[in-house]
């Protein structure tokens, strides 16, 4: 599998320009899609067999559930496993919250408004980073909860639909 992301990432850190980092972000997003499609390509026949078993009402094995998990929430598992900044984000978010209290309900000079703008922008970015992490963690928890006590007919049907849509969106 050819990714070629490290060169564009190195260029971004060498040049330190917004355009270079945007190019790197685009290349990294392309790589995410390549990796997802590679997983789908390598496991699509097993997923088709699992769909058949689920449609027929048969139980699926723990190994098969793990593969289904990869298709449904693998991205979330990969991200939450590797992401190690959550506590730093929360600490920074709380620090910014405290700093912003000093600006509430008071007149601000032009210079103070610029500082306030910067803090709000930083808090907004961090808020979205935290929300992204928590959304992925929530997806994992919901999936784990749904499969922890076996699959009822409704859950089997839902998995069949989700997996079928993903199979159909996969470009062979």
| Tokens standing for residue 110 | 């032009």
Question: Residue 46 falls within a domain, yes or no?
Answer: yes
pLDDT of 73 reads: 95
Do 75 and 131 share a domain, yes or no? Answer: yes
Do 86 and 125 share a domain, yes or no? Answer: yes
Do 81 and 146 share a domain, yes or no? Answer: yes
Do 135 and 74 share a domain, yes or no? Answer: yes
Do 81 and 15 share a domain, yes or no? Answer: no
Measured distance CA(110)–CA(138) in Å, rounded: 41
Evaluate if residue 172 carries a pLDDT over 50: no
Determine the structural domain holding residue 138 and report its residue range.
Answer: 61-150
Do 108 and 40 share a domain, yes or no? Answer: no
Question: Residue 82 falls within a domain, yes or no?
Answer: yes
DSSP 60-78: --HHHHHHHHHHHHHHHHH
The tens digit of pLDDT for each residue in 92-138 reads 999 999 999 999 999 999 999 999 999 999 999 999 999 999 999 99
The tens digit of pLDDT for each residue in 73-99 reads 999 999 999 999 999 999 999 999 999
Cβ 68 vs Cβ 103: under 8 Å: no
């Amino acid at each position: 599998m050819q990714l070629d992301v490290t060169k564009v990432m190195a260029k971004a850190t060498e040049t330190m320009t917004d355009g270079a980092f945007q190019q790197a972000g685009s290349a990294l997003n392309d790589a995410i899609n390549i990796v997802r499609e590679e997983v789908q390509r390598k496991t699509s026949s097993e997923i088709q067999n699992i769909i058949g078993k689920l449609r027929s009402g048969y139980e699926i094995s723990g190994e098969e559930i793990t593969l289904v998990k990869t298709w449904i929430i693998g991205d979330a598992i990969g991200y939450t496993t590797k992401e190690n900044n959550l506590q730093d984000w929360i600490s920074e978010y709380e620090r910014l919250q405290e700093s912003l209290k000093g600006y509430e309900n008071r007149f601000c000079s032009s210079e103070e408004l610029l500082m306030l703008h910067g803090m709000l922008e930083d808090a907004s970015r961090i808020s979205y980073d935290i929300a992204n992490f928590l959304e992925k963690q929530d997806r994992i928890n919901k999936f784990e909860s749904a499969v922890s006590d076996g699959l009822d007919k409704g859950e089997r049907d839902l998995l069949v639909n989700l997996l079928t849509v993903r199979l159909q969106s996969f470009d062979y």
